[in-house]
Amino acid sequence: MLKIIAWILLAAALVVLPFVLSYSQQEVLVFLTINVLVVSSYRLLTLTGEWSLAHVVIMGVGAYASALLTKSAGFPVPLAMLSGAAVAGVFALILSFPLFRMKGFYFLIGSFAAGEIMRLIWIKFRDPFGGPKGIKLIPGFDTIEIGGLKIDFFEPVNYYFLALIVVAVSLWIIWRVERSPVGLIFHAVHWQDKLAESVGGQGAPLPHAGLCHRLLLCRFVGRAAGALHRNRQSQPLQCRRDGLCSDLGDRRGYGHVLRPDPGRDRVDDPQRRCLARTGDGSGPAADLRPDPDCIGPVPAKGP
């Protein structure tokens, strides 16, 4: 009974939370939520006693894949997110063939090498990965309409709830797996692999289960990463007095990418931190929302 009350309280707190936060805090909250998933998905892997240094890189595979699918292949964002997760899963599956032949320290080094190779590929191949700055101008999440209800995912609150649902479902699945006989075998292989093998554990079925587990894991992470990428688009653009706005690049210290402030026509005062699509630009800075139109082809020269 106490447990149920605790769960209800937690759920209520998570629902109320974004509404007591400012816009920028809400964005941080979205990242926090996604990172809960990244961290907890690691648990399923470490159940087997192995540490993979490619975990976050696999998450990146999901993110890059979903970004490229929306930008270059024109996938709708929700589909791209799921596909990105699937691509991450397939990558992990392929990687698991060489990596699962290793154990302990060797697995650690092997996974590090695999992750490093992928990271370098992203950095060295500007086309299509955009080099160190990553992929830019990824189309944003469309507003979706369910039975007259319009949900705008540029709104961090909405995005937070989407992330929260994905995280809750994923955590539930991780919990189910851990509590199942499969989870028991993961534990067993961790503590006494020889004993587990002596009763048939880790025969053909176990690597198989291991692979599936990897696949599943990455699917979540890929999904989260997709979410992460999408979420980048909801970062408010920083606009300057001269009406040029810099994108996320500047926050990450990669230098400015300036483009004209599309809100300028509408928002009279260029000193504003800009970009309210629907608002009149008179509200406090924290209430301003980024203008999706801002994310368009960058003209060669500013006005």
Partner 1 sequence: MKDDRTNAGARPLLEVNGLTMRFGGLTAINNLSFSVQPGTIHGLIGPNGAGKTTTFNVVSGYYTPTEGRVLYKGQDISGLTMPQVAARGLVRTFQHSTLFQEFSLLQNVMVGRYMHQRPTLLGAILGTGAKAARENEAKARETLAFFGLQLRAHELAAELSHGHQRALGMAVALAAEPDMLLLDEPFTGMNPEETRQMMDLMFKVRDRGVTILLVEHDMQAIMGLCDRITVMNFGQLLVEGAPKDIRNDPKVIEAYLGGARHVA
Provide the binding-site residues for partner 1, judged by CB under 8 A.
173, 176-177, 180-185, 187-188, 191-192, 194-206, 209, 212-213, 216
Between 166 and 294, name the residue whose CB sits nearer to partner 1: 166
Between 193 and 250, name the residue whose CB sits nearer to partner 1: 193
Min. distance of Cβ 173 from partner 1 in angstroms?
A: 5
Min. distance of Cβ 169 from partner 1 in angstroms?
A: 10
Between 24 and 180, name the residue whose CB sits nearer to partner 1: 180
Min. distance of Cβ 274 from partner 1 in angstroms?
A: 46
Min. distance of Cβ 233 from partner 1 in angstroms?
A: 32
Min. distance of Cβ 200 from partner 1 in angstroms?
A: 4
Between 185 and 239, name the residue whose CB sits nearer to partner 1: 185
DSSP state string for the chain: -HHHHHHHHHHHHHHHGGGGS-HHHHHHHHHHHHHHHHHHHHHHHHTTT---SSHHHHHHHHHHHHHHHHHTS---HHHHHHHHHHHHHHHHHHHHHHHTT--HHHHHHHHHHHHHHHHHHHHH-HHHH-GGG----PPPPPPEEETTEEE-TTSHHHHHHHHHHHHHHHHHHHHHHHHSHHHHHHHHHHH-HHHHHHTTTTSTHHHHHHHHHHHHHHHHHHHHHHHHHHHHTTSPPEE-TTSEEE-HHHHTTS---EEE-GGGTT-S-TTS----SSS-S-S-GGG----GGGSSPPPSS--
Q: Return d(Cα 175, Cα 46) in angstroms, integer.
A: 14
Min. distance of Cβ 209 from partner 1 in angstroms?
A: 6
Q: Return d(Cα 223, Cα 41) in angstroms, integer.
A: 12
Between 36 and 173, name the residue whose CB sits nearer to partner 1: 173
Min. distance of Cβ 290 from partner 1 in angstroms?
A: 37
Beta bridge partners of 258: 246
Contact 103, 50 (CB under 8 A): yes
Name residue, tokens 């930008």: 71
Between 37 and 177, name the residue whose CB sits nearer to partner 1: 177
Min. distance of Cβ 48 from partner 1 in angstroms?
A: 13
Between 85 and 294, name the residue whose CB sits nearer to partner 1: 85
Between 115 and 201, name the residue whose CB sits nearer to partner 1: 201
User: What is the number of other CB atoms lying within 10 angstroms of the CB of residue 128?
Assistant: 12
